A and B are shown apart, each in its own frame.
Chain A
């Protein structure tokens, strides 16, 4: 016991390990370490013994085997001959896709609802309060199931689009809302089409450069350049011009009814939509509360002071309130993004093939490699979470009030 902590002085007594605060912390840490090692060893030996008794082993060899199952939403090439590993990658991409879509949508919904909750319109305020309370206080799983039920049980099936007096018809002749998902037109790019896309991306960069320049000019010289119309012009005019000059190299492929389903176009699966919207609306309610709290946290004195300086209301919002409110809003916003990513694992309830559905679902079932699959699954989510937390820490450090 004493071997760990070398007695530095001759007068060292054993009882000092407990009673002397200088050494006590070593004693405690030593005990904690021993307990931890003992616990790990105990669990590990149990695991080894259980596995030996069941005649199983731990091996990740199954990842290289053909998966033998199909996945309905593949962002990369995949078929039933691909390996379990590739199936897991397909799942990862599907997770990231739904998480990204839900984050963007939740932010939009949340900001709108949060701002409207502070509106001076009584009815809107109450309506938004109703939305926030209804969604915050009901489990997200129930919302996912409800929206999934809407998607599968209420929407018309492709069959209903058939015939002359069909029960359902396509919206604008190009969007089909069915219980298998939503079919939208798909842009087809000829080689020249990429040029148009390139020009559009360049315009976006150009627009930001212009805005930056205008701001700098304003701060340096006080000269005010118009912002709104020039930005829009930079954004759209070159792209539209090049589109027509190059002879319309981008066309749309419309979904058409053929065989059992709609063919062509982009199919957005019902399970994806259910998950996407349920997560977005649910998390949007939380974001709305954050936004409201953030705006309210900026003291009224700030608004009044800005008004006293002669700033116009919009500038008060942009230059005084928002920068301060964002400092409060963004950290919980990012942790809400984290929650979306983690909650997207509920995909398993609606059959969306995210990582939990492929690696933690079918692969686990077919290979019976429960420990390996669950470990890998946890590792993936851990990596995602830690990277998002890292981003959050960087941001927090950047916006922290510089004290003294």
Chain B
């Protein structure tokens, strides 16, 4: 019997039992639909985390004083209070690490109260160099950034974020050129940063005041060391090399012997990124497992119904055999029927899964990303399910004894 005829017979058998076939398909529909939706949700959240991290600057490298891997004895100090990073370290990195590092900025911070007239707001001032904007992917929306001259002269100028503007200038007045006070020291606002909103960890990225690092060192905190250095590698791929290079330069500059531990730490965003995506990877795998189990349950449903179908149609099988159907004809007939049920269910499931994903995206604003491979994979899996779970009942049908089958009541 040729394939077209087999297909016709299978379609008729399914058509004769529409409700039952649909209920059988339902297992596959739900299985495939949930596999696709779950993978879309998992991939979507992973991608959104990655996007947020790269928004923060994907090739960013953070250099902090103190060794984070080794907690020393005695009083443990806040790492930013350690004084192992100096301006000389910054200069050393700047002059020697030119191969992999593109931008470099010292970080000095001081917290206090910002005051403008009768408005005040507690925040912290970050002393940086101009490169900081490039490293953190920040841009100025109004006004200008401070200059080299401002850094040399420790000028009392600052660039402020939107949250600061909102709190200190509630009357919508233009803050450029205005003087605000920070811990009684007057600063002239020379620029406003483009708003960035909250990051994935819930921090307000607009609650920021940038000033020349020399100003913060000398006039605000009265310190000679740095709280940290931010750098950015020339590309994401070069991040690890840049980290190695910086470590080497800092060890030399700190005159550390071969077996001495680092008295600083160099971290890249990559670590953070892999840490955060590993959680969402886990979730994706877990969700896919659950969805996979529902596919197996769907397959068992097919097997069950195929058994019923074979038993119900024992006489038909007997008749077909007596008019010349071979075992292989009967086997293919029932196998095609099972595959047809599972593939039809799979196709409906794909549409359902994609549809459900988009509904989540539009109504709940969930990040969704449907990968081509998840559609292909679930389609293949449900075809396989049809073959695997349809095989045994079909095999049994093909091995029926025509004499008994034709007289089966």
Q: Do A and B bind each other?
A: no
